[in-house]
Structure 1
């Protein structure tokens, strides 16, 4: 029988403390960095490197809850991130980028919605950066 050292045991214990929601937020942070930070900025304040050249200023994503009475607006965020074709001057359509495994998610009313896992991950990350 092999005994693991204290360092490896600590890493394994720490890994066991990460919840699926935290894992989603970490995955969402990576997706945010790849697809959102150029416009919205690394901290989500609307100050990305491309922001000045856009016809519509990117939103400050750290103020979503504040603008919604202190409640994170899940459905609005996910609809906006997913995108709609033909909305000139706003966010590009990310629907095709967010293809992949679907997960069941309960919206604010408790209705179960099949949602791309990547989309939910980005929304969970955005919830973590609220001011």
Structure 2
């Protein structure tokens, strides 16, 4: 009996680990977007002109601007600030917000450990693309 119980422990730990490493769905990202991004990009993510004259881009057309492909690596780097540089410093950095457990995200054919909030935002943005046949 004890041997049987001990034999099942590794399976239990594996199952628990896999449950944590699940890619977040769009709903999780939508909540983060509403709390952190909608002030500039609007609740519908269509962007707007800000008080300082800059324009927060329409995030529903990222794929359209990229020949119909959602550029995951580029989007992740824009959100976390890595790919923006000083020229695009209008968008705040969300470093602290984007920390946390890592989940596997497929980026250009490679599974990449990514902080869960960052993966959630990316998943949400990918789900709201228009003009790609995937909107819904």
Confirm or deny a common fold (TM above 0.5). Answer: yes
Q: Rg: which structure is higher?
A: 2
Structure 1 distance, partners of 2:67, 2:53, is: 28
Extract unaligned runs of 5+ from structure 1: 1-19
Extract unaligned runs of 5+ from structure 2: 1-21, 131-136
Larger strand percent? 2
Asked if 1:90 is matched to 2:90, the reply is yes
Q: 1:52 aligns with which of 50, 53, 60?
A: 50
SS at structure 2 position matched to 1:53: coil
Structure 2 distance, partners of 1:89, 1:82, is: 12
Residues paired across the two proteins, number: 107
Normalised TM-score (structure 2): 0.71
User: In angstroms, what is the RMSD of aligned CA positions?
Assistant: 1.9
Normalised TM-score (structure 1): 0.73
Moved over 3 A (4+): none
Structure 2 distance, partners of 1:54, 1:77, is: 24
1:15 maps to what in 2? none
